[in-house]
Structure 1
């Protein structure tokens, strides 16, 4: 029903007052609210089926795992079959039949779908500050780290890059403080601790490459149906800040990447944000302003955003005022806050004299809702009590084996399944640090070598000087001793020359020597020549006596 221009939501008994989501107004955003167990999941499932059949891709966070059933056609053997069949007949939905919907499964942890990643740079300091619950001062330091990284050409891709960049900023704190404002090591340390907590929640899986391309969220199957991107969020809900920040990042990335289209005949993408209160709980004003800006402006990019929550007052008024299409399931007025929510919900609908909203809203059955959607002219329709159409796909999750087959056979393939770790801030800063350390070590070694060489040269000079001193001292001692010896010799000679006894002994010695020589010579002559005399004997005897006499005289 509703044809090519709208998505049939439901009707009253007998098909009275049919309610439809007009396609050209579907980018005006919407709210689906109601207490637990009142039928919100089935409503979402039916709207997504209708949008997909109309050629509108969708994104939905599957908090409980039930929406994965969109991938499989419903079954006549299911326990809900008779209920759905009766509902279709009750609202006059004659062409209702079971059918599947084309899906792609995603998972930040890469366990139940393709990994979704983005880079630290793409996330930006504002959303990261929200994610890590930083105060204003710490957010300022984080912004400085981003600025310095951009200026120095350092890519911030993953948490390791950001940690390295923060450590680098801490080392340059004095320099950066003079240029950008106070960068205290205490603030850097607080951010580093927040990063560790983010890692413990699985945040490291979200940051890295290959980063998600928004074009992969805008796919179609071979029948022209829009592909439904289902994010496995059951595990992600244990980290509510990561969940909310991721979805806000995704909206911001879509806003920045998609072109302006004004008011198209149908949305380019419908975005369903389940457990929407997590986005707004304890959010600082700067973040709320960012959310409001994205929600207000993304309409012109052809994106419709649908918040799903238990209580309509969970959505701030500045955001709620942008939500033109509304489906309100039953609320329970057991507490003062519940009663306040009932009154608030009643005032947001266009009045219908036949419907007492404040009373009816507490009486709605499971699978029944108050519906008011924007009409062709942009005005909201009067609120109607509406029985929600039954879904054509399976109500309940797919099995692990079915999910595995669907992941392996979808159009994305293995494009995002393998992490890529290219050179970025961590590697570049580590290389610079290693170079600086090596240069410092080399300079230190050179300095130590120069000091050792200088010390050795000094010691060698000292030793040479000492050796020269000792040589000169020994020379002086030797020269002194030689002079003393010479002086002693001369003194002895003078003394000997001047001593009468020495002269007498010398004279006597000489005389004795001469006499002894003559005596020996005579004896030698006699022995040689005998007693014979003659001229020859006399001459030879004289010669012998002369020689021997000279010898004795010299003594």
Structure 2
């Protein structure tokens, strides 16, 4: 089919992904708007074009009025905030698709858990909950159970868990009252308390303490549409966060869970309310316990009725559990390289997940794809997957490559949430409440009245120590002392008798 005969992409049909490169077909590949909340996966080896595909999808949803959240792992995605300058090669590719590029930036808000390359993102310890926090801290089952006890005691005693200092204070409180708490909810081992405290120290050293606290993130600040009708693109800078993969995975899962809990049911909308891109998705599922996997599967299965579409971005679809992968109807597969037996099994699994195209062998096509090419299969009008097509991905309207630091600073200065999350709020919570309790107990012990002393005996002063008693002398007599006393008694008796005789004799003579 000649270029003139190629159909011009129509935005009303859906998000234009690219042009099919199969001989004799040459059709435009669209992701239908009303099927976009059925989730999807973008897979492929490093350097095959996954980030560019994510960028054109994020900007396409934004142009449609759909807010977007995506993680920027390498820093390249920040270019979506800048006007693109397409090269001659990209212009030629667009012309071959019947596409006219309109270089423009997407309305972008930068976020960063550490508050360095974006607005700070915070959540309270209570919002995270014991399950995800145990995942962050890499706790075993016993330690996770003790952590659940800590949360239970905090709820029962009305103690707010906002930051890690509150959690540390609660751990000390539970350890000091382990006997009483153990009778109510089960044994609390001191070794488990110590292990949790060590894990918290490691999390703090990784910078994770900056994530916990207030003001906590409000989802309404992410789900925004501008006056021009375009959706806000929220870019989470994850270049540093990737050094703590468990924190990264747990945070994104918490964000998805919050969306699931707070957004109302709307059924199947004409277009999504929000689209969520989960980059490096394998970090969420690696060594994940069964309860966590079950929670992910539940959220993915049910959140589409809230109008939220989730797209996992990873190197190989085999990184995603089958129970979750079965929920992902829209699939874009970039090139894979099969060098090892494990790679070959992953390649075969990826190819088997597509609806077969008789024009080519899917497994061979995946290995032969060039940069910027992908195998695309999306859901059709009836909700069934389309036959897989080898597709040339369209070029983006925004910049290919990262934004500079001054450009990022300018975007943040014009942000609608500038100044909202910058300053930390430290209100009274578990740490302060427990300290006040301890101070009150000590004050009561100091001011307690002294019991009355028995009659005839002076009560010793409470603040002044009684004078020390003289040491008791031994009652045993030495031989010399006994002889001396005997001589003195004998002499005394003789002297007494002589005196009496003299007195009595004088009386008789008178």
Unpaired segments of 5 or more residues in structure 2?
1-8, 471-498
- Distance in 1 (alpha carbons) for counterparts of 2:217 and 2:465: 66
| 1:420 matched residue in structure 2 | 425
Residue 189 of structure 1, aligned match among 182, 194, 198: 194
Question: What is the CA–CA distance in structure 2 between the aligned matches of 1:72 and 1:454, rounded to whole Å?
Answer: 76
Match of 1:244 in 2: 249
Q: CA deviation at 1:453?
A: 3.7
- Cα pair distance change 1:442/1:408, threshold 3 Å: same
Alignment of structure 1 residues 74-153 onto 2, 5 Å = 74-76=84-86, 81-93=87-99, 95-153=100-158
Per-residue CA deviation, residues 196-241 of structure 1 (Å, 9 max, x unaligned), is: 1111111101100000001111011221100000000000001111
RMSD between aligned alpha carbons? Answer: 2.7
Task: Give 1:35's aligned residue.
Answer: 45
Are residues 1:73 and 2:93 paired? no
1:346 aligns with 2:318: no
Whether the 8 Å CA contact 1:352–1:382 is kept in 2: the answer is yes
Query: Which structure shows the bigger proportion of residues in helix conformation?
Result: 1
| Cα contact 2:354–2:377 (8 A) shared by 1 | yes
C-alpha change, 1:338 and 1:452, in structure 2 (3 Å) is same
Change (3 A) 1:451 1:9: farther
Determine if the alignment matches structure 1 residue 224 to structure 2 residue 229: yes
Q: Matched residues in 2 for 1:219 and 1:204: separation?
A: 28
Separation in 2, partners of 1:433, 1:209? 25
- Give the TM-score of the pair, scaled to structure 2: 0.87
Deviation at 1:15, TM superposition (A): 8.0
Map 1:257-406 to 2 at 5 A. 257-406=262-411
CA distance in 1 between partners of 2:359 and 2:507 (Å): 165
Aligned partner of 1:157 among 138, 142, 162:
162
Q: What pairs up with 1:365-514 in 2 under 5 angstroms?
A: 365-443=370-448, 452-453=460-461, 495=506, 498-499=509-510
Counterpart secondary structure, 2:111 = strand
> What does residue 493 of structure 2 align with?
none
Between the aligned partners of 1:339 and 1:362, the Cα distance in structure 2 is 10
- Decide whether aligned partners of structure 1 residues 400 and 447 sit closer, same or farther in structure 2, where only a CA change above 3 A counts: farther
Distance change in 2, residues 1:178/1:87 (3 Å)? same
Are the aligned partners of 1:48 and 1:58 in contact in 2 as well (CA < 8 Å)?
yes
Task: Give the Cα separation in 2 of the matches to 1:184 and 1:364.
Answer: 56
Shift of 1:377: 1.5
Q: Which of residues 195, 204, 208 is equivalent to 1:203?
A: 208
SS at structure 2 position matched to 1:361: helix
- 1: CA distance between counterparts of 2:128 and 2:25? 47
The 8 Å contact of residues 372 and 382 in structure 1, kept in 2 or not, is answered as yes
Question: Is the Cα–Cα contact under 8 Å of residues 97 and 392 in structure 1 kept in the other structure?
Answer: yes
Point out where structure 1 has 5 or more consecutive residues left out of the alignment. Answer: 463-487, 500-555
Q: Please state how far the C-alpha of 1:337 moved relative to its aligned partner.
A: 1.5
Asked if 1 retains the 8 angstrom alpha-carbon contact of 2:460 and 2:466, the reply is no
Which aligned segments of 4 or more residues in structure 1 are displaced greater than 6 angstroms? 447-451, 454-460, 491-494
Q: Is the 8 A contact 1:149 1:155 kept in 2?
A: yes
Residues 371 and 454 of structure 1: CA distance in aligned 2, closer, same or farther (over 3 Å) = closer
Partner in structure 2 of residue 9 of structure 1: 17
Corresponding residue pairs, total: 469
Q: 2:35 aligns with which of 25, 30, 38?
A: 25
